[in-house]
Chain A
Amino acid sequence: MSDQLIDKIVEILGPFMGETMARASLRVYVNEIKINKGSFEPQYLDLLVLRLRTGLTAFAGKDKAQSLINDILRLKQRGGV
């Protein structure tokens, strides 16, 4: 996954969970996907989002988590991936 995409996701998650936690979470989840799939390709963004959703829901509930997830998925639609 490009550093640019990580930065864009951190921009979305940072105000909610803090930049450090957002980067640490992304690093852990991307590494997990790399271990399972061999590499992290842009099409695995959905898998990443799935992992993020659990953590976000635990602290902010489904609705807030979904609104953050939607912002991340919009990156894909905008061709940010």
Chain B
Amino acid sequence: MEATDLSAPQRVAASSAAERARLRVDVESAARLLAPMWPLESFIAVNPLMGLLELRFEGAVREASRWLPLTGYPSPAFMKAAYGEGRVTDADLAAVLAERHLDADQTLPALRAWLEHPEGAVGPSPGAAGELADRRRALTTYLATDAQLAAFCATFADEGASGWALGDRSGGLYHCWRAVAALDPLLRCRLRRRAARAVAALPADPEDALLEALVRLGVPAEHRVEELRRQLTRLPGWASYARWREEWAGPDCTSPPLGVLDLLAVRMSYEALLFDPTGTAPGSAPVPAEGGGPWAGIWLEAYERHYRDDILGRLSAGRGIQRDAQPEAQIVFCIDARSERLRRCLEALGPYATFGFAGFFGFPVAVAGLGDRYGTARCPVLISPRAIVRERPAPGRARAAVSHLRSRARAAAAHNAWHVAKIAPGAAFPLAEALGWWLWPAAGLRTVWPRLSRHSAPPTVLDPGAAGGLALDERILFAENALVTMGLVRDFSPLVVLCGHRGRTAANPHASALDCGACAGAPGGPSARLAAAALNEPAVRAALVERGIRVPDDTWFVAAEHNTTTDDVTILDWHLVPARHGARLAQLTSDLAEAGRRCAAERGPSLPGAPAVRDARVAVAHVARRAADWAQIRPEWGLARNAAFVVGPRSLTSGIHLEGRVFLHSYEPDLDPDGLVLESILTGPLVVAQWISAQYYFSSVAPEVFGAGDKTLHNPVGGIGVLCGEGRDLRVGLPWQSVAVGNRLYHEPMRLLTIVQAPLGRLDIVIARNTVLGQLVDGQWLHLVAESGDGTGWHTRRAGSWWPWEPAMSCGEVARWNWKA
């Protein structure tokens, strides 16, 4: 007999409002362990442990490993391979040990012995045999509860992917569940005829239900947060999605309201209903894995140190490359690491100067495309959009726009017709028979001859100042911010190109992971168009003159978009460019095309399955085909192998081969005496880059917990996320194929290395007055290296103070480790 006697006086009579308020806080404390998960239409890379930032890196990993099966460090096998290849050397280890004041001779053998250590088994300590029978039954209940809850979440959170969905979900998950829980086979099987009564006796309010369940399960108040955390980490995927929905989605979000407290209320109601007071639940907190320990951290630091020495050596050696006196065009790229290659190739082709700035170009708006029902945010998730800008047809092209909208509506209607016919009784059978003859040859063609369909859209205008958009003073403010942050306040060339970026793939649920993260997982083209339109406005230019930024009258801002999968750059809104820039723009376009070809040739061979030939034309054709191929599981590497974030002028990194692994943000230290620009860069783009780096790190190091699993097993659910294989929990993070090939990691799991060119005192002030920076830097979430630019060399920041940087090995032998395809 398993459920408690329902008439027992354990019910909470009417929980007071104070109790509820405290419960809310406890739930949030428990949920802090998990990072929010954005729906896949706008995938955002987040630091999976972002809620534990104040615990420092080791502390956060240790805390997380109490609840989730992760070690948080690269495995011994991985380090052994790296050691064998020379990617980590004894010199690196010795340097790290010296920093930590450990004796190298004594600890090196222990470090080497750790390499032979097998992967730590993670799990609860095995108990006595007598407990096992109860634990087995409790385990079965646990797993079955997980399964039922996950299935209900998948149905609740569905945004129109299924034919027959739940109706009114505004009451929340708990309310919907309670209405149908009496029919749950798990409850009926265990409670038999008492199921309906037991469910009806549950409170109507999720907060009351949670409180009552906690009481019934006998959870003392001081262990409440722990118990809630334990419950949440049984289904980390859905809990992460619930966290996003509650905290980050915004008040006008139309997704079903799946909240964390509701999730916990349902989960604990299941447990309370199925609770057997004579048995024991697999209760105590799990023992942390043995695979960690201090050695893993030391190996990781040595691994990172090797890369740091390498890149700082390259930066020091490459000093002295001067920019052209007056470039023909200045091109502003997103800080994305994939832009580094294109910038390098472009600068080698002609008198061009490139800058790096976050891909939304400083304009926090939401954009609604032509015919879209609602707008999507196009700014980093750390800020909220100020206005919605709607795309409108270009003047004189209204007819084309109308016919485009009509055809889109027709397509939507036909699509809907197909969906209805799929579920109408009896209609699905002839539908399958009729469509099969047509779909399979199309599929065969698509497999053998991939070709992306070209959506021809009519020309449109994206005007930030249109009705409902930004006011003039806002446009002036954002324009000024953008130019000042970049350091582009004088010496404008005749053409300034703002280049956003996007990826283009076929049949890829994680497609938005390849788009611009600074535009909230959307293509960067519309942001570039907006910014260019605002900067070309005479009123804005006049106001900028008043603020000290004199843009010459014949300078024109042009918008462009870089397709990172095929490495070609498209100029947008060509029809708006004045004729006097025609020749220059044509020259720039052909140079961009050539630079793109060189990029494709450079990165092509690292893609698995690419032909080994280094011919540019073959490489370009191959990447184009890869982008269009629906069977291709790895159309591009995206941000894999990202390693560092550089804040400084282009002269610091110009001409140096950084392998496309570095985020580059422009910054002119001389123009920023009070450190405000530095502060805005370090608290904005740096935090986003740290999130990206941490996401890749944890998806490589803990793929079962923080990674999305094998992409071939992915099963898109509800239009918001993916399930993997037979599992029912949403998967967070990046798929395995985005960071590895076969069993071998392609991404190098390291914490972000931040390189800044600014006076050290200024950095100290900025870090001191921003708590988040203090936590990131001094908590070892990233490594900070800076130089003042006055010849004193690089300094690393450790334990709150600056130490001069010395390479671990002698100058002549900076070892390079290239990933072999």
A binds B: no
Contact surface of B with A, Cβ cutoff 8 Å: none
Contact surface of A with B, Cβ cutoff 8 Å: none
